[in-house]
Structure 1
């Protein structure tokens, strides 16, 4: 009788544990799909690059990986991002690529002709400046077929008054202090023609040619959709701003299993120091699957120069 009672107790414990585990899993999945992807926060960084002018304090708002689609990233939600970004009153706003939907699990695509004018509502004294991401290239079948050309996302942004940089630079200034924005072409722009062969994707990035367009000693801020380029960025660059990783979308105790370290350097998320300061945004939308756990959507707000402070979100 004792053995039977003990066996029954063990089964009860197992069933109770299994039920609790299943309930926890269901709750986590519900939160990860229906709650966290729709949140919106602001993460503040304050960096002081080694070669940054003492008299220049610059506030940058960075928006990455919108992935417009219903219901996860509706036009109303994008407008909320625009209003929240404008409320930060940054000196300059940068868009770090991947505006088009990054997964098929949605109720409807949002055309670039719809989301680009909403982003056109972004305002900053030194302007709004954009680069493209891999999905902006991959989603344009004509560009993929021809292996060249401007993706429709680029055309829509430019029609909305937002310049898009591909291996190009622009010189800006604040309070008499100049600095450069350098926009790198996407590193994964073209998918291989034969998808089932281990052929690397082909980028349109040219870091050397981009930096050669910088004509004076003013500091350089590099916009690069994929952060991997950081391992090759020289100390001439003060700050690199990137997206692409989404922080892994699922992040547990600061670890993102979906984004492995590269050559011993973890470029998944946050502030990293290589030869320059690198900030990788967790982004706003979702890719592959509409799920986020432990990595809520964020607008990144960077103060460059001035007195140091802690990261907040």
Structure 2
């Protein structure tokens, strides 16, 4: 095997982890792939013969690329409070394929990624690298031009926000599906109290309809408020297709092969605590729904 082929092989060994880092950093599958590709280009034109820890070197490169992308995104954002729904990872209920398993390790639910979207770029990098990938603070600090102590504080602040706003889902997918099915059954029947019964009192519904719509972001909370909104879902009942969304029970609403929305549910202690909806036509158009075919 020549040196070029050996380099490609070594890089491919690390690709799943690098893509997982980038997805958590960016919440975008396309941008994550771009960041990983940039890491490959830099590796290909760099002499790494004296690099003892190639995995660490590549992780640092991907993290720096993602940090620059996040900062650029932040500068372009007109409204600092604008909600951006991360790209969902859609799987068949029969199971998540190995590539997706690597991407979704550590239960990276959509609700968690939504909270990560609210973090400042440096906070997000410190939290993702340290808490999710066990990168030491003294290695993270140079990336954001902070001291290790300051980097630790950034991660701690991000951790408190995540713990306060991104509840941990129940691990039993079968139970998750039962709760989600009960939600749609109540919505279909117009059973307002039935909806309230499966919703946590503090449930949050977040929806991203895309920039083409006048009100492209909506956030509402409270069981009775969300139940009132959910009653309107009844007309979509015939088009609901069960799916795993980022490894948890959810649905894709599709009519005649055309996706209308993706709905991710976070079920904690037997009740729905978060509903995250992507209904942006432009982004939905790019989704591959063949994964739902039997």
TM-score (norm 2): 0.28
The higher radius of gyration belongs to 1
Q: Which has more helix, going by share of residues? A: 2
Q: Which has the higher contact order (CA 8 A, sep 6+)?
A: 1
| TM-score, scaled relative to structure 1 | 0.27
